[in-house]
Amino acid sequence: MNRHLEKSSGMETPFHRLCRRTREISLAGRNFYNAKRRLISRERNVNVQGMSGCPGNQFFRSIAPAQAKGWLKDRLTLRGGGSEPKAENRQSKPSDRGEHGRRFRFFRSARKHGRFGRGSVLIEATMAMTMLSVLGLTMLKLSLNITAPRQWTLQQAITDAYLTFEKASAQRQTFENLTGPDSLWPVSPTVATTNVVFGVLPGGRQITGTVTRTRTPDANNANATNNPAGMQVWKLQSVVRYTVGGRTYLKSRTVVRSQ
Amino acid sequence: MKAPFVRLSRFRRGYTLVELSLAMMTGMMIAAMLLAIFNQQVAFLKIFSAQSFLTSEAPIINNYLSKVIGSAEGYQLYPNMTTLQGGGSPVLEDAPVLLLLFKEPDGTSRASILSFENPGTGDGLYFRRVTTNGTISDPEWVLSKEVDAVNFYVQEGVLRVRLTGPNQEQIVYSGAQQL
């Protein structure tokens, strides 16, 4: 049986397929039909120190249980390096390292390639996770970019609605009340500031702010030449102040009332 | 003898436990992130839906009220339709029923009613017409069914209407000078 293994690996493997061939040979240890290949042989002396004794090594590195590490080399060099394969392998140099010496070099490089291939999975997985994270954060930012202006728009709509009251109230007040001592719009520079609730956002959060009112006389109110009838004209100004996202906004409505 | 040996070797090649674990963990993490993104989009959709009353429905109601009330000659507020139909007294606050009076070109008057009620077709702001003989018609059409409450009231001589949305949001519009 061992002879068959040596022969098949030495005779029929093309040079460019050495990598795969050696891998196939290494996998031969898992051939359940031939238990002797993967078990410690009791018929011959084997290099026991070279065994991958750790069960984890046997499991993770695809080494069959109780398989000697380097068993292939032992068999091919020490015992298998006889005269029979030498004649068939014409590319290899006749040397004391045996006919399969070149193959061992490729065997090692193949194993390194295998390790690199497996390690690249980690890199690919990391790259995929990173790309997905960036995609998720981008989508979150885009969603926030849409949500934030809507919040601003909501407060604009509610405060605009409140200003309709300021305008209607300024138009509705009698002139006596407007110019009286208890006027809601005191004469500038005096101002009257009150806290108001503009509205309520979804969820019940109130939008609050302040409204500042003042009135300024027209320049011709006290001008007897241009205004002989003494008609009073006042500008009523209401300024609304509210805060959204740390920024303070001001809106105003001005109504001109004439006597 | 060699061919089946090679085939068997190829068949027996597989992934190690580490590779499978990595693949499963990666898949689970991707699935979890996709689920989080999906939940986030659903949350944003809910937020947009909750805000739609203030951004779209309330301005439409206000636009209509401003045009209709602005062209009316006068108004009266009632606490409910029963009081109005029974000839009860009008009120100045917390009134879901608004009676509007219009002057016709021939000098006659007509009236119409805006009332927040449930006439059997669900809560909403309905329009009723008062016929020439004084009877109140059934609701002819509904202005909005998304609104949760409508309250008309008078403050400092100004007609105001408080619209309450389905998520308890509130916005207050105020009438014009002549009202």
pLDDT of residue A87: 42
Distance from CA of B154 to the nearest CA of A (A): 11
Any A CB within 8 A of B3 CB: no
Identify the residue whose tokens are 């009220």. Answer: B65
Q: Note whether residue B15 is domain-resident.
A: no
pLDDT of residue B78: 94
pLDDT of residue B47: 86
Dihedral, A22, A23, A24, A29 alpha carbons, nearest 10: 100
Q: Note whether residue B47 is domain-resident.
A: no
User: What does the alpha-carbon distance between residue B89 and residue B101 come to, in Å, rounded to a whole number?
Assistant: 16
Q: What is the extent of the structural domain holding A201?
A: 151-258
Q: What is the extent of the structural domain holding B87?
A: 57-174
pLDDT (tens digit, 9 = 90+) per residue, B47-73?
Answer: 888 888 998 899 999 889 888 888 888
Any A CB within 8 A of B55 CB: yes
| CB pair distance less than 8 Å for A150 and B174 | no
Q: Note whether residue A137 is domain-resident.
A: no
Q: Note whether residue A227 is domain-resident.
A: yes
Q: Note whether residue B152 is domain-resident.
A: yes
pLDDT higher than 80, residue A85? no
Confidence category of residue A90, pLDDT binned at 50, 70, 90: very low
CA nearest to B36 within chain A: A136
For residue A155, the one-letter residue type is Q
- The rounded mean pLDDT for chain B is 86
Q: Note whether residue A198 is domain-resident.
A: yes
Give the angle subtended at the CA of B34 by the CAs of B31 and B37, to the nearest 5°. 155
Any A CB within 8 A of B42 CB: no
pLDDT of residue A33: 47
| CB pair distance less than 8 Å for A31 and B175 | no
Q: Note whether residue B99 is domain-resident.
A: yes
Give the angle subtended at the CA of A140 by the CAs of A200 and B56, to the nearest 5°. 35
What's the domain count of chain A? Answer: 2
What ipTM was reported for this prediction?
A: 0.78
User: Which residues 147-176 of chain B have a CB within 8 Å of chain A?
Assistant: 155-158, 160, 165, 167-176
Q: Note whether residue B61 is domain-resident.
A: yes
Question: In the listed set A55, A76, A99, which residue is the last one of a domain according to the structure?
Answer: A99
Q: Note whether residue B21 is domain-resident.
A: no
Can you give chain A as a three-state secondary structure string? CHHHHHHHHHHCCCHHHHHHHHHHHHHHHHCCCCHHHHCCCCCCCCCHHHCCCCHHHHHHCCCCCCCCCCHHHHHHHHHCCCHHHHHHCCCCCCCCCCCCHHHHHHHHHHHHHHHHHHHHHHHHHHHHHHHHHHHHHHHHHHHHHHHHHHHHHHHHHHHHHHHHHHHHHHHHCCHHHHHCCCCCCCECCCCEEEEEEEEECCCCCEEEEEEEEEEEECCCCCCCCCCCCCCCEEEEEEEEEEEECCEEEEEEEEEEEEC
Q: Note whether residue B18 is domain-resident.
A: no
Cβ-based contacts under 8 A for chains A and B: 121
pTM of the predicted model as reported, rounded to 2 decimal places: 0.62
Any A CB within 8 A of B52 CB: no
Query: In this structure, are A167 and A237 located in the same domain?
Result: yes
Q: Note whether residue A43 is domain-resident.
A: yes
Any A CB within 8 A of B14 CB: no
What's the domain count of chain B? Answer: 1
Query: In this structure, are A88 and A164 located in the same domain?
Result: no
- Of the candidate ranges A195-199, A221-225, B76-80, B144-148, the one whose mean pLDDT is the lowest: A221-225
Q: Note whether residue A126 is domain-resident.
A: no
Q: Note whether residue A143 is domain-resident.
A: no
